[in-house]
Amino acid sequence: MKKLLSNLWHGAFILLALVSGCVGIERSYPDKRYFVLEVNHNVNPSNPPGNGVLQIANIRVSPRYEDKGFIYRTSGSGYESDFYNQFLVSPAALLGEELRKGLAQSQVFRHVINASSQLEPTHVLEGVVDALYGDFRDPGAPRAVLEMEFFLRKESASKADIVAARRYAKSVAVNGRSPEALVKGWNEALDAILASLLADLKAINF
């Protein structure tokens, strides 16, 4: 009887240890964290305000960077995807919304709308993201990289004319390889691209 009880206690101890071990393993995985991109919306409005209605077309992102997981460049041809640090929604949606807000505040056009609006635009701005990654090729000098192309076209009843085509590339030094530092760098890059885009738009005679 004593031997039977001893065996039962021994078996229960082993089972408890196994269960505890499994729980420990499950908890060793980090939690997912989600981030958004935001521009500095302290944009000086155009004086006088512009005319027309600008539609921000849906932003297209290179297939390399269209997923929500952060992308890190680790060598000349080596990239890694981060499963645990991600954008809250697709980068295309984040960038499109931030660009719309910044352009609306600038008042280069009287109204700035998104692709779902029922208003008829006088101009359409298309955007393509060619690069969106953390450049970690040099461990001592990480950078946030953002490259975008824009095509502005004027809408008419007969055809759509390309008014301007611009490409902007920004690489911002970041303080460490943390996701927070990387997002801060992307935000700075987006601020700089928006400022350059606004300057170019203001120089165009609409």
Rounded Cα–Cα distance for residues 187 and 185 (Å):
5
| In contact, 146 and 193? CB cutoff 8 Å | yes
pLDDT value, residue 44: 76
Does pTM surpass 0.85?
no
For 86: left if phi > 0, alpha if psi spans -120 to 50, otherwise beta; the answer is beta
User: Tens place of pLDDT for every residue, the chain, 206 residues?
Assistant: 444 445 544 554 454 444 444 444 455 678 999 999 998 877 777 778 888 999 999 999 999 999 999 999 999 999 999 999 999 999 999 999 999 999 999 999 999 999 889 899 999 999 999 999 999 999 999 999 999 999 999 987 667 688 999 999 999 999 999 999 999 999 999 999 999 999 999 988 66
SS3 letters for the chain? CHHHHHHHHHHHHHHHHHHHHHHHHHHCCCCCEEECCCCCCCCCCCCCCCCCEEEECCCEECCCCCCCEEEEECCCCCEEEEEEEEECCCHHHHHHHHHHHHHHHHCCCCEEEECCCCCCCCEEEEEEEEEEEEECCCCCCCEEEEEEEEEEEEECCCCEEEEEEEEEEEEEECCCCCHHHHHHHHHHHHHHHHHHHHHHHHCCCC
Q: Which CATH architecture has domain 37-202?
A: 3-Layer(aba) Sandwich (3.40)
Cβ-contact 172, 144 below 8 angstroms: yes
pLDDT for residue 24: 42
Domain range annotation of the chain: 1-30, 37-202
